[in-house]
Amino acid sequence: MAFYSYLVIPTFGSGKNTSSVFANHPIVSGCLNNGCVNYNPSATDLDGDSLSYETQMCTSNTGTVAGYSYPYGGAGGTFSINPITGLLSWCVPQYAGDYNVVIKITEWRKDDDGFYYMVGYVERDTELSIGICTGINETTEKENIISVSPNPVTGNLTLSLNQNSDELFDIDIIDLTGRKIKTFLNNESLSKENKVVLNLETINPGIYFLQFIGSNNTAITKKIIKQ
């Protein structure tokens, strides 16, 4: 997913500045004419700056991308983002397809006189896939199916299933830019009795996402910290 960052090094406050860090992978799926698709980038700012959120159309260097369509709530549907919490909601999507929208996260810091100034922002592409669903297990409902430990991890990461299931999983590790770093398992079974151990010793330190795609359409993403 594309990033665009703008940073100001202010003379007030700490005198330093860093970009926001995101805990959630920017891909989310939802069902046509059914419920709400909710997504939050879960941004944090290491400098303690206040954050605000807004959505924008995807553009290129020459302007609007050809054929691009901004997500539309439609009759009986809504598409909005909470400017304070960052929660993006698309309720009762009216049209199937894959959509991209830019979430802009702006950093605000008080100067010595107590006035807020913009000290940077990050623009991040987010993909929303809307399809006809027939019993898909959504991540928001199933995120506790799989446990990972320890986290943070330095070497071996243990995966365990918290309920009985014969589901097969593909497991990939993805970095903060959305790039697939490594595939660990392809169509391997996780069970409540058996644990799977992944060796992460060759992975560079940083924040990553373990993406689980199950044979029963379960889609789960877990954030891990590699030390």
pLDDT the model gives residue 67: 65
Domain end residue (candidates: 131, 157, 177): 131
Question: The CATH number of the domain where 28 resides is what?
Answer: 2.60.40.10
Question: The CATH number of the domain where 215 resides is what?
Answer: 2.60.40.3080
Predicted model pTM = 0.57
| 34-57: pLDDT as tens digits | 778 889 998 988 888 999 999 988
| 141-152: pLDDT as tens digits | 455 677 888 888
- Residue 214 tokens, joined: 């199950």
Q: Is the peptide bond before 71 cis (omega within 30 degrees of 0)?
A: no
Residues 29 and 116 in one domain: yes
- Residue 132: pLDDT band (50, 70, 90) is low
Residues 114 and 164 in one domain: no
Residues 126 and 143 in one domain: no
Count structural domains, the chain.
2
Q: Tokens 């909601």 identify what position?
A: 89
Residues 105 and 185 in one domain: no
Closest to 29 measured CA to CA, from 162, 174, 136, 157: 136
Q: Is 11 exposed, middle or buried (0-12, 13-18, 19+ CB in 10 A)?
A: exposed
Which domain covers residue 195, as residue numbers?
139-226
CA angle 97, 98, 100 (to 5 degrees): 140
